[in-house]
Amino acid sequence: MRIELRRLTLSDLGEIDRIERQAYPTPWSRSMFAGELAKPSSISLGAFDADEQHMVGYLIISRYVDAWHIMNVAVDPPLRRHGIATQLLEELFNLTEGDPRRGYTLEVRVSNAHAIALYERLGFQATGVRRGYYTDNREDALIMWKDPVRVRQVG
Ligand SMILES: CC(C)(COP(=O)(O)OP(=O)(O)OC[C@H]1O[C@@H](n2cnc3c(N)ncnc32)[C@H](O)[C@@H]1OP(=O)(O)O)[C@@H](O)C(=O)NCCC(=O)NCCS
């Protein structure tokens, strides 16, 4: 499958919602996504099947003073383990490289071993725990961090 990445727009909300509901026990509402998409300080990327033109995953990032915060990343269940989340995160690193002030951070459920493995492979490290962070089951969040990505040297 050929994957195409592009910025999300409000017309993508229906497909985002379909994937979101399969990805999380407490999914974001459409209006939460609409709010993120409207923020100039956010980067919202979608991955699409280039031939069928339907969405296969998405990534929502917020810019803070000292970090890019990964707010949400999800991939359509039948299409997981094909490198789609990796492509989305690598596109984020490409778009934001050379910003020495901002690293990358996120919270992830301590039980979400799949996501933790993905982030570790991309250079994130666990830096702390937020106790009882998730309100649905009081689960702890692992805080992960990756240092700023330097501009790649050519030649
Ligand atoms: C986490 C998630 C986004 C990963 O998406 P994905 O496109 O399947 O990830 P990738 O194919 O890029 O995986 C890259 C690497 O991450 C690790 N990984 C990802 N999913 C894994 C799994 N189910 N089991 C073990 N390792 C896994 C592996 O190291 C994998 O590399 P490999 O396939 O070569 O072994 C996806 O499983 C998902 O949507 N989960 C539900 C939502 C969620 O939990 N999001 C994160 C919230 S913080």
CA distances from 9 to 35, 106, 127 (A): 11, 23, 33
C-alpha of residue 83 to centroid of ligand 1, in Å: 8
32-39: Cβ within 8 A, 24+ apart: 33/60, 34/10, 36/60, 36/62, 36/71, 36/72, 37/8, 37/9, 37/10, 37/13
Full set of structural domains in the chain with CATH: 3-146 (3.40.630.30)
Percentage of the residues of the chain whose pLDDT score is greater than 70: 98
C-alpha of residue 80 to centroid of ligand 1, in Å: 6
SS3 assignment, position 131: coil
Q: In sequence order, which residues have a C-beta less than 8 Å from that of residue 112 and are 6 or more positions away?
A: none
Q: Whose CA is nearest to atom 33 of ligand 1?
A: 81
pLDDT of the residue at 151 = 80
CB-ligand 1 contact for 45 (6 Å cutoff): no
Q: Whose CA is nearest to atom 48 of ligand 1?
A: 108
**What's the pLDDT band for 155 if we cut at 50, 70, 90?**
low
**What's the pLDDT band for 98 if we cut at 50, 70, 90?**
confident
Q: Ligand 1, residues 87, 91, 114, 136: which to mutate, most atoms within 8 A of Cβ?
A: 114
Q: How do residues 43-63 score in pLDDT, each as one tens digit?
A: 999 999 999 989 999 999 999
Q: Which residue has the higher pLDDT, 67 or 150?
A: 67
pLDDT of the residue at 53 = 87
Concerning whether 119 is annotated as a catalytic residue, the answer is: yes
**What's the pLDDT band for 94 if we cut at 50, 70, 90?**
very high
**Which one is catalytic: 90, 107, 133, 134?**
107
Whether residue 150 is predicted with pLDDT greater than 90 in this model: the reply is no
Whether residue 38 is predicted with pLDDT greater than 70 in this model: the reply is yes
Q: How do residues 107-121 score in pLDDT, each as one tens digit?
A: 999 999 999 999 999
Whether residue 95 is predicted with pLDDT greater than 90 in this model: the reply is yes
